[in-house]
Amino acid sequence: MTADGIAAERVTRSLGGRIVLDDVSIAPEAGATVGLLGPNGSGKSTLLRLLAGVLAPTTGVVTLDGERLDDVGRRSLARRIAVVEQHTDTQVPLTVLDVVRLGRIPHRRTWLPSSAEDDDAVGAALEHAGLTDKVDRRWQTLSGGERQRVQIARALAQQPRELLLDEPTNHLDIQHQFDLLNLLVGLPLTTVVALHDLNLAAMYCDRLVVLQSGKVVAAGRPEEVLTEELIERVYGVRAVVTLEPEGHPHVRFVRAGRPARSALRAE
């Protein structure tokens, strides 16, 4: 287990007497994009919250550069790790600029106005997320894809080294899914992202971690992890997995009642 960056070592998390995560270890390489896969209830969101320090493990340890998260100050942690939740909403009439400025809170002293450094960080985040022409738009007028970009810009304004995202492509159309993931993989950050779409995970992630009932059942490069056998075992569906010219696997699901896998390959 590396001492650099964010890492979880043999973490377990219990909730109401039920084990939600069971002996899970993860240590993303610096700058890598790691995809968390698994059915609903497999523990993806819980693992992200442990990595963010929002939850504490029942057993095991989460570290940042070798230091236990318990020993890292909350402000220092917020400067280092940014989190984009699955659902974020507000009834407060905030603009895009207002929301992105929230990312500077860990860097500012209470009640002091923003500094030139804050303004530069916010401007860079807006530009990186392609939002410079939307700074005056109200949050309530934004589409789902635009809101996700604003949340990512807010996270970037924190100037983190680690970025954690919980199913950021949910409820987005295909174009916005691609736009969002293109943005993420272009960032010079260590990114851990929970995803449902196996093909998006294969296209955009350097490594995958597959969870089932709170346990890691597979981990490695997409072409190593996304096999027909694993998909059937974890998701309970049959699939045909082929290798794309770009080198990543492509998953084609087989509808119940269709011919067997071998027959499909012969077509």
Instruction: Note the pTM of the prediction, 2 decimals.
Output: 0.89
Shared-domain flag, residues 39 and 170: yes
Residue 1 is assigned to a structural domain of this protein: no
Shared-domain flag, residues 206 and 244: no
Shared-domain flag, residues 203 and 173: yes
Shared-domain flag, residues 128 and 252: no
Shared-domain flag, residues 130 and 253: no
The total number of structural domains that make up the chain: 2
Shared-domain flag, residues 206 and 243: no
Shared-domain flag, residues 148 and 105: yes
Shared-domain flag, residues 167 and 85: yes
Extract the tokens encoding 105: 């809170």
Amino acid, res. 15? L
Q: Element (H or E) spanning 48, and its range?
A: helix 44-52
Instruction: Report d(CA 193, CA 31) in Å as an integer.
Output: 13
Task: Please name the residue that has the structure tokens 């691609």.
Answer: 178
Shared-domain flag, residues 262 and 182: no
Nearest residue to 105 (alpha-carbon basis) of 163, 158, 150, 161: 158
Give the C-alpha distances (Å, rounded to integers) separating 234 from 49, 72, 84, 228, 238.
23, 36, 26, 10, 10
Give the pLDDT confidence of 81-94 residue by residue, as tens digits.
999 987 676 778 89
Shared-domain flag, residues 179 and 266: no
What local confidence, expressed as pLDDT, does residue 27 receive? 96
> pLDDT band at 263, cuts 50/70/90?
very low
Q: How large is the average pLDDT for residues 175-189?
A: 90
Domain residue limits at 249: 227-267
What local confidence, expressed as pLDDT, does residue 111 receive? 67
CATH of the domain at 165: 3.40.50.300
DSSP code string of 101-148: HGGGGGGS-TTPPPPHHHHHHHHHHHHHTT-TT-TTSBGGG--HHHHH
Nearest residue to 63 (alpha-carbon basis) of 31, 25, 20: 25
What local confidence, expressed as pLDDT, does residue 87 receive? 67
Give the pLDDT confidence of 121-154 residue by residue, as tens digits.
999 999 988 899 999 999 989 988 888 889 999 9
Give the C-alpha distances (Å, rounded to integers) separating 53 from 4, 13, 61, 214.
17, 13, 11, 18
Instruction: Report d(CA 136, CA 127) in Å as an integer.
Output: 14
How much of the chain, in percent, has pLDDT values that exceed 90?
Answer: 70
